[in-house]
Structure 1
Amino acid sequence: MDQAGISRRSVLAAAGAAGLLGLTATPAQAAATPWYPSAKFGVFIHWGAYSAAAWGDAKHAAEWYLYAMNVTDPARGTGTRDHHLKTYGADFAYDQFIPRFTARRYNPHSWVRLFEQAGARYFVLTSKHHDGFQLFRNTASDRNSVRLGPGRDLVGELFSAAADTRLKRGLYYSLGEFYSPALGTAPRNPYTGAEIPYTGYRPVTDYVSQYEHVHLKTLIDHYDPDILWADGQGYHEFGGGPIFRPKTWDWRSDEILAYYYRNAAGRPHPKSVLANDRFEASHADFATVEGDNKKYVLRPDPWEACLNIGKSWGYNENEDPAKIKSSVQLIRLLAEVVSKNGNLLLNIGPREDGTIADWMSSRLLDMGRWLRINGRAIYGSKPWIRAMDGDLCYTRACGAFNLIPLHWPDGRLLVPGDVPINDRSRIRLLGGHSRPLPWTRTADGIVIDLPRHRTDDFTEEFPAVLSATDW
């Protein structure tokens, strides 16, 4: 992952985007329905050779291990560099983790079942992260999971496992890489400075057309993703040398997105596909807001908060327990993001063998348990004119106005008087008893009398949903 600005571009269906990029959309193609704004919850998956290194610290997340090895400035954080030297020695190159990335216990069907049980409507898998290691077969490079490491098409197996489910399937792709001979940043031994091989690399003279676009066209042609999620697009220097791309650079992303949209629209049964706002292209379907401590705001166009459960996106044996969000925190974040017209893309980082740690899967299962009761206020919902008042969130869905207090009130809930509740409205607690709750309008607002105890099998720390209808 890397930080990026927020696009203001509006969401368009595949056919509309195709028109923007100079393509012709037929009426049938224009009828493709964008599914994304209704989905609300997806699972992000960071998995790769860094999962075998499985180590990060307060300064660098585990999936940045390759870059963090090269940071020499203590102010920028040398914890990974020091850890690597002590644990593996100066002559152990990052690429020696590739054979240790085995996927030997990878069961894509169990992943899919977990995502479904979590209530997710889509997932996004890292097909290539910043270390340049690809989880799919392609003709541009041998630095992939079929030629090296697991000896398996990890993307293909997960997409096949999800093919007959309701899950939409997405692929993350890092446009640039930490180090690559094709970008003028050949990898070096962090301790001696000597140039070292880039395992599986096939020399190219044009990184974009002979490598990056070949990868992306392979992903489009062979896996037909519903989302393309770009990252690693900008020039950066964080103490371990310049990364991702030269300062002056053109990813020629309009070309690849035109190819993507044309592929989706030009078929007997067109489908809606989307691309995020990190392609440095003339179009994006949704904006991405990454990481914690963001001040989310209500936006008119679809956007996505991509969040991690802990500090690292890739699996981290050194994860600080204090940094791991609880299920309650995650559900509160989901309610806040959805009230502001966003989707939550929640990340997990499987181990190198393909297993998912219990502290990750248990949180996903808690999300699913909560959504099975309260999902009618989340899926397909739309925002009200205000997203929140204090810690009270609002959504509109299925003919109901939904109130989601992030903390269970003590006996009564006071709601601002201008919310769309009228004399005909009946207010019920989702997952609780079916009788309407008593409420009165006062000079201070609307006062709703609540049950003394929760009746939906959740503790009082979990958000509840009050649904107001006129029927």
Structure 2
Amino acid sequence: MHHRSLARRSLLARAASLGAAAALPPRPATAAPLPQGAADRHHRYEPTPESLARHRTATWFRRDKFGIFLHWGVYAVPHWGDDDWSSEWYLYAMNASAKGGVHERHRRVYGAGFPYDAFIPRFTAERYDPRSWVRLFERAGARYFVLTAKHHDGFQLFPNTASDRHSVALGPHRDLVGDLFRAARGTRLKRGLYYSLGEFYHPALGTPPVNPYTHEPVPYTGYRPVDDYVRQYAHVHLRTLVDRYDPDLLWADGQGSHDFAGGAGHIFRPARWDWRGDEILAHYYNRAELRPHPKEVVVNDRFTASHADYAVVEGDKPSYPLRPGPWEACLTMSRSWGYMDPTYRIKPAVQLVRLLVDIVAKNGNLLLNIGPRPDGTIPGWQRERLLAIGAWLAVNGRAVYGSRPWHRAEDGAVRYTVGEDGAFHIIPLSRPSGRLSLPADLPLRDGDRIRLLGHPGGPLDWRRTADGCEITLPTGGPPGPGGPEFPVVLRAVRGVDR
């Protein structure tokens, strides 16, 4: 994640690892080996624009609408940021001497001789219970999740042969990706993985880490020297994630070439660079397609490939436009993407529900981020907000899941969706009182019945007026979960209620 959107010399000799690399654990369930003749029964993708363009966005992605993003890694240990830097950018921020908040605080709290990698042993995950995470996601009404398999600091939550900078060799000594994927097996949750293509600092990118106070070289813990960062490192990681865990979604990031000044240096990749994204997409699509029972998978638009299944809009925006193609808004609950304590700019639950409604009405998905602690627990204020969203969806989910946009997404503070069964949904972002006046061109016909979801009463009275239509709302307390500030859903159907 970009640090400003609330979220992101010579080569060193091989760095000394903090611990010996552990043997790879048994593989979780993955795609079956490709049977002989499978390519004849299904379409094989080639790493070319023409071939990849045949891939269509997964039906489940367009239907499911709501997912959970998880930024979890070593940066959860210092868990600190400021107005310039989100916590998951700590490694870069401690090098930004010209923007001294994190840089000076690190010196004061940990000392100039304490490198970022000294946090790795403190990233323990000792209370990590992936089954409880999965239960929380289900209770939140989420239909998919995306876990940061590797963020910009280069620490990997999965074992692999390209590096020893991972959670089985170091820190937790657990396959954190595999544990969560196994816990979600057998649920309706689709499973996704985030992967940062570039890194803040990496010897093979020409950006070996240095002490930000002395400017002397420091080891890059777990580094195995490579000549080709893309082929021998990034693609090994990505193929491991695809082949070992069989994800339903791949979410790329860290693909650009940036220098945000402040003395922290150039990051992610050199100016002229090729991630060879078409090769990864073809491999991923083929693993999903060339099996006895093909499955639908999706990738976002950050692989710098010739194709993408959907677009990403990152961070809070003044407004979101109605888009014809599939897209996803990824947002945080607060200032930071990674765990930060104390935190600020925390969005109340009602704001998160309103954002979900607004984004879905405009043909998008909401990928809502949480940041677990280094011990693997999810802060209570994050859990409370997820459960509030889930309670709202339990009553009003028919206006969200499987919905599609109407030709106009909004009128003032009212949003519209069309359900899978053709029902028309009118969603005021906060509960109106008395009568709700709406434009005349809404697809309402004489004899249609309108109900307020979550309200025990019968159909609402409504009538046409000289310049529109008017719906009489019930008196009394708010329907369903939340209070009067939460969105409500008016469901209009043809002739009889469903």
TM-score, normalization by structure 2: 0.88
* Aligned with 2:154 (options 103, 114, 132): 132
- Tell me the equivalent position of 1:61: 86
* Aligned with 2:73 (options 42, 48, 70): 48
What's the CA shift string for 1:203-244, capped at 9, x where partnerless? 000000000000000000000000000000000111210000
Q: Distance in 1 between matches of 2:273 and 2:57?
A: 34
Q: Does 1:312 align with 2:339?
A: no
Residue identity opposite 1:2 in structure 2: H
What's the CA shift string for 1:62-93, capped at 9, x where partnerless? 000000001122xxx32111110110000000
- Tell me the equivalent position of 1:100: 122
CA contact (8 A) 2:278 2:306 kept: yes
What's the CA shift string for 1:253-303, capped at 9, x where partnerless? 101111000111000000011100000000000000000124311111110
* Aligned with 2:360 (options 338, 342, 350): 338
Deviation at 1:190, TM superposition (A): 0.6
CA contact (8 A) 2:47 2:281 kept: no
Q: Does 1:201 align with 2:223?
A: yes
After superposition, residues 5-84 of structure 1 pair within 5 angstroms as: 18=45, 21=48, 34-73=59-98, 77-84=99-106
Deviation at 1:445, TM superposition (A): 1.1
CA contact (8 A) 2:197 2:234 kept: yes
CA contact (8 A) 1:32 1:271 kept: no
Secondary structure of 1:402's counterpart equals strand
Residue identity opposite 1:404 in structure 2: I
Distance 1:4-1:98 versus aligned 2 partners, 3 A rule = closer
What's the CA shift string for 1:97-148, capped at 9, x where partnerless? 1000000000000000000000000000000000000000000000000000
Distance 1:235-1:31 versus aligned 2 partners, 3 A rule = closer
Distance 1:266-1:385 versus aligned 2 partners, 3 A rule = same
Q: Distance in 2 between matches of 1:409 and 1:355?
A: 38
Distance 1:310-1:211 versus aligned 2 partners, 3 A rule = same
- Tell me the equivalent position of 1:10: none
* Aligned with 2:456 (options 409, 428, 433): 433
CA contact (8 A) 2:406 2:417 kept: yes
Secondary structure of 1:394's counterpart equals strand
| Unmatched segments (≥5 aa) in structure 1 | 6-14
| Unmatched segments (≥5 aa) in structure 2 | 6-41
Q: Percent identity?
A: 61
CA contact (8 A) 1:327 1:366 kept: yes
After superposition, residues 381-420 of structure 1 pair within 5 angstroms as: 381-397=403-419, 398-420=421-443
- Tell me the equivalent position of 2:299: 275
Distance 1:248-1:94 versus aligned 2 partners, 3 A rule = same
Deviation at 1:22, TM superposition (A): 7.2
CA contact (8 A) 1:171 1:228 kept: yes
Secondary structure of 1:264's counterpart equals helix
Q: Does 1:359 align with 2:381?
A: yes
TM-score, normalization by structure 1: 0.93
Matched residue count: 454
Calculate the aligned-residue CA RMSD, in Å: 1.9
- Tell me the equivalent position of 2:37: none
Q: Distance in 2 between matches of 1:114 and 1:103?
A: 18
